[in-house]
């Protein structure tokens, strides 16, 4: 970090004083802030609110209390406990990083930002958060909350994700972060952005740094930081097949490790224009009888909308056999196993549990 100015000293002092009186001090990962616990919380909190994360975090830590437990677990179990949080690459990267930590560092986190940031799924800000919150290292962070606070306070124009804007924010973050109590300061800045300087509302009357805030002076709290450039999301369509055998088990297929729902279990997806029985015979080696269609719905990803149709089918025999490569299984939705399921798949399987009578399905 560079030499600190009186302005930076005063900024940090106000933020720390506010945090001592009004900040969050009893979040689950704060009670025992080891590098492992901080790491799990930071990954879960990426693009997810604290209130949503807390129950997932507590269940995850109960099952995987340390790096060794996470590294040794089957990926299916990790994804199962992650199901519902979304952005599943985060869970896959956690699992890979835990295995690297065991193989290369005997389960301990390295102590340099570059080494931590070299682990799967960990970038510059997350590495700094782990080392500052768990080990007190004097490293600035720049998560979404901190970006918003700094962009408003300094009047920085542009979308924070743009490289030039991001570089300015990093320079400012490093100039303002104190050399001592850096972890507390970083937590304070995250709390400030999460509770007062939020995306939709700026509670300037309670903000400790409002007196010299550029956005407050100019009345531009709603304009800064600039939002991500708007673009129209394309729409894709698919048809998910709920193929049931005589035991009311449903056929699931494991998704490829990369791409949407990577590594999760999903339903077979048939092109919407295809003849379903012919497709099942050709693609799956199964003869099926149609039982009815379920109500369609839309699932939205970061880059596109997915319109999902769903059809319920009954297994009538085998025209061949499924590939024996571990990529398929028959799943009982009424006695569910601990599998990582894509959210729309969980929704469709739940409909079978709540309404198993095919006469109730919309035809």
pLDDT tens for 87-142 read: 899 999 999 999 999 999 999 999 999 999 999 999 999 999 999 999 999 999 99
Residue 188 to residue 133: CA distance in whole angstroms: 11
Tell me, yes or no, whether 195 and 245 share the same domain: no
Our answer to whether residue 42 is catalytic in this structure is yes
CATH number at residue 257: 3.90.79.10
Tell me, yes or no, whether 214 and 239 share the same domain: no
Residue 358 to residue 355: CA distance in whole angstroms: 8
Tell me, yes or no, whether 241 and 92 share the same domain: no
pLDDT tens for 194-209 read: 999 999 999 999 999 9
| Residue 126 covered by a domain | yes
| Residue 229 covered by a domain | no
| pLDDT (mean) for 152-177 | 97
| Residue 228 covered by a domain | no
Residue 339 to residue 79: CA distance in whole angstroms: 7
pLDDT tens for 41-77 read: 999 999 899 999 999 999 999 999 999 999 999 999 9
CA 229 to chain centre: 22
Tell me, yes or no, whether 62 and 33 share the same domain: yes
| Residue 292 covered by a domain | yes
Per the structure, the complete domain to which residue 322 belongs is given by: 235-360
Tell me, yes or no, whether 100 and 181 share the same domain: yes
- Which residue, of 218, 245, 273, is where some domain finishes? 218
Out of 42, 244, 253, 311, pick the active-site residue. Answer: 42
Tell me, yes or no, whether 112 and 241 share the same domain: no
Cβ-based neighbour number of residue 24 at 10 Å: 14
| Residue 98 covered by a domain | yes
Tell me, yes or no, whether 175 and 70 share the same domain: yes
| Residue 225 covered by a domain | no
Q: Are 103 and 130 in contact (CB under 8 A)?
A: no
Torsion angle defined by CA atoms of residues 345, 335, 57 and 60, in that order, rounded to the nearest 10 degrees: -120
Find tokens 């704060």 and name the residue: 30
Tell me, yes or no, whether 333 and 214 share the same domain: no
pLDDT of residue 322: 59
Tell me, yes or no, whether 93 and 29 share the same domain: yes
Per-residue pLDDT band for 145 (boundaries 50, 70, 90) equals very high
Domain tally, the chain? 2
Cα-based angle 242, 244, 248 (whole degrees, multiple of 5): 125
Q: Are 342 and 254 in contact (CB under 8 A)?
A: no
């Amino acid at each position: 970090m560079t030499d600190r100015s009186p302005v930076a000293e005063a900024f940090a002092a106000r933020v720390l004083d506010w945090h001592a009186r009004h900040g969050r001090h009893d979040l689950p990962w704060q009670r025992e802030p080891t590098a492992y616990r901080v790491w799990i919380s930071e990954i879960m909190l990426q693009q997810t609110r604290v209130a949503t994360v807390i129950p997932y975090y507590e269940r995850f830590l109960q099952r995987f209390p340390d790096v060794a437990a996470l590294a040794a677990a089957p990926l299916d179990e990790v994804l199962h406990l992650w199901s519902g949080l979304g952005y599943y690459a985060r869970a896959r990267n956690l699992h890979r990083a835990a295995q690297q930590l065991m193989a290369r560092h005997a389960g301990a986190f390295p102590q340099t930002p570059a080494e931590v940031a070299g682990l799967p799924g960990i970038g510059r800000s997350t590495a700094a958060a782990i080392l500052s919150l768990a080990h007190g290292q004097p490293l600035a962070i720049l998560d979404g909350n901190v970006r918003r606070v700094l962009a408003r306070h300094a009047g920085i124009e542009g979308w924070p994700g743009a490289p030039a804007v991001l570089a300015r924010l990093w320079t400012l973050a490093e100039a303002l972060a104190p050399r001592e109590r850096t972890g507390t300061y970083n937590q304070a800045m995250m709390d400030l952005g999460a509770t007062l300087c939020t995306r939709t509302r700026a509670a300037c009357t309670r903000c400790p740094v409002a007196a010299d805030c550029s956005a407050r002076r100019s009345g531009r709290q709603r304009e800064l930081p600039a939002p991500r450039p708007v673009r129209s999301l394309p729409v894709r369509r698919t048809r998910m097949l709920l193929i049931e055998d005589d035991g009311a088990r449903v056929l699931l297929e494991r998704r490829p490790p990369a791409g949407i729902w990577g590594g999760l279990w999903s339903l077979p997806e048939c092109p919407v224009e295809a003849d379903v029985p012919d497709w099942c015979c050709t693609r799956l080696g199964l003869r099926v009888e149609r039982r009815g269609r379920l109500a369609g719905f839309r699932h939205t990803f970061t880059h596109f909308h997915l319109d999902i149709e769903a059809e319920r089918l009954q297994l009538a025999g085998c025209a061949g056999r499924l590939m024996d490569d571990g990529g398929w299984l028959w799943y009982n939705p009424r006695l569910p196993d601990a599998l990582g399921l894509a959210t729309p798949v969980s929704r469709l399987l739940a409909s079978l549990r709540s309404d198993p009578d095919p006469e109730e399905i919309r035809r």
